[in-house]
A and B are shown apart, each in its own frame.
Chain A
Amino acid sequence: MNLTINGKPTVAEPRAGQCLRTFLRDQSWFGPKKGCDAGDCGACTVWMDGKPVHSCLFPAVRAANREVTTIEGLACDGELHPMQKQFLGAQGFQCGFCTAGMIMTSATFNETDKKELPRLLKGNLCRCTGYHAIEDAINGVQHVVEDCHGKSAGLSLGNPLAQSIITGQARYTADYSVEGMLHLKVLRSPHAHARIKSINRDKALLIPGVHSIYTWEDVPRRLFTTATHDDYHVDPDDTYILDNVVRFVGQRIAAVVAETEGAAEQACRLLEVEYEVLPAVFDPEAAMLEGAPVLHQGKNATSRIGNPKRNILREIHGENGSVDKGFRESAVIYEGSFETHRQQHAQLETHISITSLDEAGRLHVRTSTQTPSLTKAKLAYLFELYPDNIHLYTERVGGGFGAKQEMLSEDLCTLATLATGRPVKWEFTRTEEYIGAVTRHPFSMRVKLGAKADGTLTAMYMRVVCNTGAYGNHGGEVMGHSLNESFALYRCANKKADAFSVYTNSVPAGAFRGYGITQTSFAMESAMDELAWKLGMSPVEFRRKNMIRPGDTLLSIWGGPSDLEIGSYGLEECLDKTDAALSSGRGKTKPEGDEWLEGRGIAMSMLDCGPPTEHRSEARLDLTATGEYKLAIGSAEFGNGTITVHRQIAATVLGCGVDRISIINADTDKAPYDSGTFASTGTLVGGGAVLAAVTVLKNQLVTLASRYTGIPVESCELTREGVDCNGTLLPLSELLDKATADGQKLNAVRRAYAAPRSVSFNVQGFRIAVHRITGEIQILQSVHAADAGTVMNPMQCAGQVEGGVAQGIGWTLMEQMVMNEQGEITNPTFRNNRIPSFADIPRTEVIFADTYDRVGPLGAKPMSESPVNPIAPALANALANATGVRFASLPFTPPRIFEQLLNAKKP
């Protein structure tokens, strides 16, 4: 077949059923990405004879004699297309995985089209940005500012990889080819609970191209946890690489490696598995009852499961003061039950790993992870490898949100590569993300609050049941975290919780932005509103009266001191500014008509800056011969913006611009050990390590310059070009030469830990309209105030807030993973489980509190994870305000709103 790709005449033969996307990628045009492979996300958009099409739906054979343009061909004679420049100027991306498709779509828009973005962008999904930055990019709004030497921190500087992202050159895990690659596919369980009696692979092995098939009998029989934490003891060892018992529909049963994906798929279909189907349990309350099917029979204390016979992974009972006494002292009590549901991370890049062995027998794992060092350690443990014989790295990662704080694909690829000696690739399909990855934990919560007549909180109680699914991975830690900040946010002498993390035969839950706070915040902040109304107080006034204040000890349900402190306090400012914004008259007015009801709601949340358990990061800084700084740090970048911030911190201390700082990250060979990027540690811990290392190197440089010039240290200042010694410049290259001759090494290595820890605050306000007949919600105004301490990069930080708000709106109003009675997720596609598109997300007014944190680097606090937390309760409170009905079960879809309003009307 002849065709033209990006102006280049090409001759290649596609397979009969091949889509254009993979065909283009076979020709090494890696720009078109796979987000869904089903025409819903638009990440694969290319132009066919100048018209935009989704290349995943386009039969490759039809491209014969036609002209295809991918993102790589959009620039003309080295000159970027105006839309590419605009995406640079507004930084209309975070992870960048959707960007090629966004640009190839929006580059076709004329001025009229730009007024219709909600409709015209419905075929382009972004999970990171909340679309605000994309809208600005399309409209040519400039956000990126010029760097200023020595003053980078606090500026809206662009991502160092921005140029490669907008030209399609950024290499994500799949954008890589290696000779002799085998493709891995897995057969997944159709049963929620079953014992595998036999697996017959005879027919499958006859498929041409099939190399090997692995089942539970072929893997190391070692229990482990897929969750990654620095201290693995916090998670239970309850999982085998492949098992002879399946505990959820979608659990992997067998892995096939073959010369082509097609052969591997066909072999999976031909595997004959004989099951002994076991009774299954899906409701965590039922799972705790005597006589319920037991999921992890026989596993004991060494697996770190609290009560395996009752399917209880862990239970927590804690009390400060006495809630009994508190309720006795109260004049008003509110009690209510709340439910939250599963949510898929839906990061646009699915899980993917490519493993290979080099000639020396060293294992290389190219993968999409948030925790390179920990995943390496886990592979070393599982396969009994000497850790130095493993090189694990990410290149560009297309989103995480916690989904990649989990080892889900690396182990099987490693198994196959070690067995075959061949490179092996395994890329999850979008459907596999829904049925075989992890989700946000569903919670059911019973809240009881008491207050005196003057509004003083006297008691807070919560009973929490978390559904961890078939495996425990993050279950215990998520539950522990969920009981912390939602309680500690309020001054109250008596706090208590009883909580259970419970196994059920459903897809495992895992780490997800917010990490349990999102769920308890929904219940607690909804309950606080109800209590306020009962007291006859406005919810804002009630919160002002009871929220923590500077100097308070942070206390939840556990006694004893912790390393947490209020290192800066912007909560009141956030609350005041959000409240004022909602009263300002900004935002849209309610649509006309009696059917529309209007309401407003506010919710607040607090997040500990970093996890309570061990977390460390190490930065290594070298001054190179060219007078540039090379920064190596193990933390991962997946759209969260850490590398941008790390460069800003370094440049600020070193008195130069960020262009002098090159970064190597997330590579176990080239960067030091790092616990990974999760639990809001990118700026705090990673940034802390960077700050420590650059400070050491700066001091070295200045001290040496002083020694060489005889000028006192106090009169020497490090600048972009060298050390300014009282007016005389000692260039960095000269300093380096002298130091080298002296046997001095100009580098620094420093570590940082997540201790002590501060707290960050978020307040969300919504004004909404609710249609009382259809159940439709329109968001009229969205305001988010965030206390991030020093805002290192206002553009990027606002982007994180907007993205968090959008994910929260998706969880609250739209997304719904539907599980049938057999435990099967029945809507495992973007088409049937809609994540927000451009049209669903309002502009959010983002306000930053003016604070400086005494714990965080340069006064900064984390602000990527936490913005999602107050979204659901703020919407619930607005909905209650509009309708007079408390909606306590997520999500608030129109049919559910309609039904509950109808029931409320009935006498």
Chain B
Amino acid sequence: MDLNTITEYRRETNAEAVQNWQSGYSWLAGGTWLFSEPQPEIHTLIDIESFAWPSLTVSSKGLEIGATCKIAELEAFIAPPEWKAAPLFRECCRSLLASFKIWNEATVGGNVCMSLPAGAMISLTAALEGVCTLWPRNGTPREVSVVDFVTDNHANVLRPGELLRSIFLPESALRKTYAFRRFSLTKEGRSSVLLIGTRCPESGSIIITVTAATKRPVQLKFTTHPTAEALKQALDTAIPEDLYFDDFHGTPPHRRHLTCHFAQEIRQELSAQ
């Protein structure tokens, strides 16, 4: 929709060109959320597409996803064969409520920065032990894990004007086997619950990442394969009742029920691998 309060659009070639961050400024990545709701507080858009950050950089250490990488690019990415977890890229892209047309503009970083519980790029990068590189307006870059980046529904650790530059997925996580479960109240709808489990082929350690069901991502780590009871207790401890998210795409009791159900299914599926 038209954002009629916006009076200025700036297209810079690098982040340093933006000094004196003010309230009413907003970075513009894909714009697909920004233009989907009235934004009466914003008067200036600063385009970061023109920063020309590389989208996907593969190295022996893993994968660096530039914040402005389009969802469509990630969905189409062909990973090295030893990255057993790579099919999750496609699974998670397809878990977005947004259609494939929106993937042509929407960015991975934008989805993470929106920090909605159902943000499937958060599900993906959290499950694959992603680490965000943040660029404060003044100061040195800092790193924070995706799990810690999102703090609540539509809330994160970004300070005013701070940029998410990239998300790094370590090679060790990408080589893991995985199990994926998702539920939405309508077919192809927004995620109500999204769980990803990964298993390290060498150590047998398990990580279960709960998203969509909870206000922020919750990660359970087990050094050895957990029993059903151990998993249940870990879930109960890690997710108090009020951490389950209540919105139009799910209720806390149903989300809790499905989280427990899917977590056990994931536990069994991973044990069979």
Contacts and interface: CB of A to CB of B under 8 A. Distances in A.
Given A123-B102, A266-B4, A16 B186 contact: no
Contacts of B1: 19, 37-38, 56, 429
A261 B45 contact: no
Nearest to A827: B248
B7 A16 contact: yes
A775 B102 CA distance: 30
Contact of B183 (A15, A774, A813, A827): A774
B254 A898 contact: yes
A115 to B, nearest CB: 14
Contacts of A776: 183
Q: Which of A119, A122, A775, A831 has most B Cβ within 10 Å?
A: A122
Contacts of A58: 31, 35, 105
Interface in B1-27: 1-9, 11
B213 to A, nearest CB: 12
A52 B101 contact: yes
B187 A839 contact: yes
B212 interface: no
B2 A834 contact: no
B49 A62 contact: yes
A54 B33 CA distance: 12
A819 interface: no
A818 B249 CA distance: 12
B188 A839 contact: yes
Q: Which of A17, A123, A262, A833 has most B Cβ within 10 Å?
A: A17
Contacts of B11: 61
A118 B104 contact: no
B217 interface: no
Contacts of A18: 2-3
Nearest to B9: A16
Interface in A37-60: 37-40, 42, 45, 48, 51-54, 56-59
Contact of A775 (B4, B35, B188, B254): B254
Given A105-B101, A123-B99, A123-B101, A899 B254 contact: yes
Given A45-B101, A895-B253, A17 B248 contact: no
Given A59-B45, A262-B5, A774-B258, A834 B36 contact: no
B84 interface: no
Q: Which of A16, A51, A52, A269 has most B Cβ within 10 Å?
A: A16
Nearest to B50: A62
B154 interface: no
Contact of B261 (A118, A773, A816): A773
Interface in A453-501: none
A612 interface: no
A59 B2 contact: no
Contacts of A15: 2, 4, 6
A163 B248 CA distance: 39
Contact of B45 (A16, A262, A429, A814): A16
Contacts of A40: 36
A837 interface: yes
A16 B47 CA distance: 11
A237 interface: no
B151 interface: no
Nearest to A60: B2
A38 B31 contact: no
Nearest to B187: A839
A832 interface: yes
A54 B101 contact: yes
A22 interface: yes
A402 B42 CA distance: 38
B101 A840 contact: no
A834 B49 CA distance: 31
A18 B11 CA distance: 15
Interface residues of A, number: 61
Nearest to A14: B9
Contacts of A394: none
A894 B45 contact: no
Given A17-B4, A898-B254, A898-B257, A61 B186 contact: no
Contact of A57 (B32, B192, B253, B258): B32
Please classify the interface of chain A as helix (H, G, I), strand (E, B), loop, or mixed, using the class held by over half of its residues. Answer: loop
B77 interface: no
Contacts of A42: 99, 101
Nearest to A45: B101
A59 B9 contact: yes
A677 B6 CA distance: 42
B222 interface: no
A290 to B, nearest CB: 36
A630 B136 CA distance: 70
Please classify the interface of chain B as helix (H, G, I), strand (E, B), loop, or mixed, using the class held by over half of its residues. Answer: loop
B144 interface: no
Interface in B202-228: none
A105 B100 CA distance: 10
Contacts, number: 151
A37 B5 CA distance: 16
A120 B104 CA distance: 13
Q: Which of A39, A122, A429 has most B Cβ within 10 Å?
A: A39
Contacts of A135: none
Contacts of B9: 16-17, 59, 61
A19 B101 contact: no
Contact of B248 (A48, A260, A262, A832): A832
A784 B209 CA distance: 44
A137 B36 CA distance: 29
B40 interface: yes
B185 interface: yes
Given A17-B9, A53-B104, A124 B99 contact: yes
Nearest to A431: B38
B92 to A, nearest CB: 14
B35 A57 contact: yes
A824 interface: no
Contacts of A827: 248
B28 interface: yes
Given A45-B101, A774-B183, A17 B254 contact: no
Interface string B233-253: 000000000000001111101
B94 interface: yes
A17 B3 contact: yes
A38 B104 CA distance: 16
Given A22-B2, A52-B101, A119-B188, A16 B35 contact: no
B189 interface: yes
Contacts of A122: 97, 99, 188
Contacts of B247: 832
A265 interface: yes
Nearest to B49: A62
Given A16-B8, A58-B105, A59-B28, A899 B2 contact: no
A142 interface: no
Contacts of A832: 247-249
A893 interface: yes
A298 to B, nearest CB: 37
Interface in B80-103: 94, 97-102
Contact of B101 (A53, A895, A898): A53
Given A16-B8, A122-B188, A123-B98, A894 B254 contact: yes
Nearest to B258: A774
A52 B101 CA distance: 6
Nearest to A22: B2
Contact of B35 (A59, A816, A840): A59
A150 B249 CA distance: 54
A17 B38 CA distance: 11
A899 B253 contact: yes
Given A16-B6, A17-B5, A123-B100, 6 more contacts: A19-B3, A56-B35, A57-B35, A58-B35, A119-B94, A122-B188
5 contacts: A17-B2, A17-B5, A19-B2, A59-B9, A814-B185
**A-B pairs, 9 with minimum CB distance:** A123-B99, A17-B6, A262-B4, A17-B3, A895-B254, A839-B187, A37-B1, A16-B9, A38-B36
